[in-house]
Structure formats: structure tokens, C-alpha cells
Amino acid sequence: MYEPLEKAIVLLKNQGYEINDPWDVVSAFEDKVARFAGSKYAVATDSCTNALFLCLKYLNATGKIRIPKNTYISVPQAIVHAGCGVEFVNKDWLGMYPLDPYPVIDSATCFHEGMYVDDSYQCLSFHYRKILAIAKGGMILTNDKKAVEWFKLAEYEGRDRRVPHAEMPAPTMMGWNMYMPPEQAARGIWLFEKVIKGETLGHSGGSHTYKDLTEYEIFNNLQ
């Protein structure tokens, strides 16, 4: 077994988590981040970009979505791939901003205790340049239990991640491959234990961090 995963399992068991399967490590990571951020639930994904995409698909988003013109390049791409249009606006932001008019929040550069915005679908990034720098990964914070059930199926090809492929029943929906594997969650748990004791929590970026995306030709026809 992957050594960091073994160590994470020992740590979690010592903290009172019941770990019977590697996927329990992912669930424990989700639980830790949800409690820390203040949401009822959290769903781990393979990136913040795909977390945003899944939120928009869950909400059946349509029409144009307004986002700051100074943001990460994958955000408007995720919006377009979700079937929506993009409207860039002049907006200063730090740590997070909404995908207006939907209750989806890009919080890729924010990580601190109690950060959850009530009744939103708040997306986190664990990119190597972020506060909790797993290397690649994301998470959706939400109070919507129904959404959690949908996200967990949607990110794992429409099936239960705990059921081995050889025993898999027919998928219940057309899904995507956007889940966080246990090995990444294990690294996230170790980093989380260190980060929450440090002094680097807060914001790691904002509108000042990113280029004006309207300068890129590929986005010219989105406005």
C-alpha cells in the first residue's frame, strides 16, 4: 500500500475515525475540511475547475455567467464546457467571488476556518500554489445533501466509488472522471494537520494575481 496512505490510516484511527476501506480516507478528509470551513458536507474532486463545472451542471445552469476578468484561465473554460456563456466584469476580489447569478463560489485562493458562505456551492483548490498544497485537487462545500449525493455519483462515472469495478451494477447516470483518489486525500490530511496549526491561513490570491482574460483571443467571442 502507498506509504502516506498507510500513515494517514493510522493517524485517522488514532483520531477516532473508522477506516475499513481506502475510500474512508477520502471521506475523512471531506469531513475534516467541512468541519473546519463550517459547511455540513464536502465532496472531494480532482480540481477546483472540475468542482465548478459539476456545480454548474447540478444546477442546470444556462445563459451568461458573470465573473471577474482577472481570474484563473480555467474558470471561463469550465463555464463554457458546462454549456453557459461568459460575461467578464471589472471586479476586485480577494480569496473568493461568485459565479453570478448562481450560488457557486470560486474560493480557489481562500482557506481559513469558518470560510463557508451559507447555502452556497463553494469550490476549493488544493493546487501546489494554494494554501493546502496537495499538488492537484479540489473540494465542494455545501449544506445541500441532495447535491452531495449527485456530486459523488457524477464525479465517478455515475457509480458508487466504493463498489469494485468487477462488481459494478449499471451506472445510474452519465458521469465524469473527476474524483479525488485516496492517495491524494491522504496527502491532504497530512498537510491539513500542519496547515491549520500554521499562520498562513487566509488568502493566497485575488484579482491582482491574475491577468486580464479579455486580452486572450480565445475569449473574445464570449462577451
Query: Using one digit for the tens of pLDDT, what is the confidence trace for 40-78?
Result: 999 999 999 999 999 999 999 999 999 999 999 999 999
Computed on alpha carbons and rounded to an integer, the radius of gyration of the chain in Å comes to 17
pLDDT of 183 strictly over 90: yes
| pLDDT more than 90, % of the chain | 72
Least confident of 9-13, 96-100, 115-119, 180-184: 9-13
- The arithmetic mean of pLDDT across residues 93-104, rounded, is 97
Per-residue model confidence as pLDDT tens digits over 110-134 = 999 999 999 999 999 999 888 888 9
Could you tell me the pTM of the whole model? 0.93
Q: Is residue 200 very low, low, confident or very high in pLDDT (cuts 50, 70, 90)?
A: low
pLDDT at 71: 97
Q: Residue 138 in contact with residue 49, Cβ under 8 Å?
A: yes
pLDDT of 35 strictly over 60: yes
Distance CA 169, CA 156 (A): 13
pLDDT at 195: 79
DSSP string for 183-219: HHHHHHHHHHHHHTTSS--EES-BGGGS-BGGGSGGG
pLDDT at 33: 97
Query: What rounded mean pLDDT belongs to the chain?
Result: 92
pLDDT of 204 strictly over 90: no
Distance CA 148, CA 159 (A): 13
pLDDT at 223: 56
Q: Residue 57 in contact with residue 82, Cβ under 8 Å?
A: yes
Per-residue model confidence as pLDDT tens digits over 126-178 = 998 888 889 899 999 999 999 999 999 999 999 988 888 788 788 889 999 99
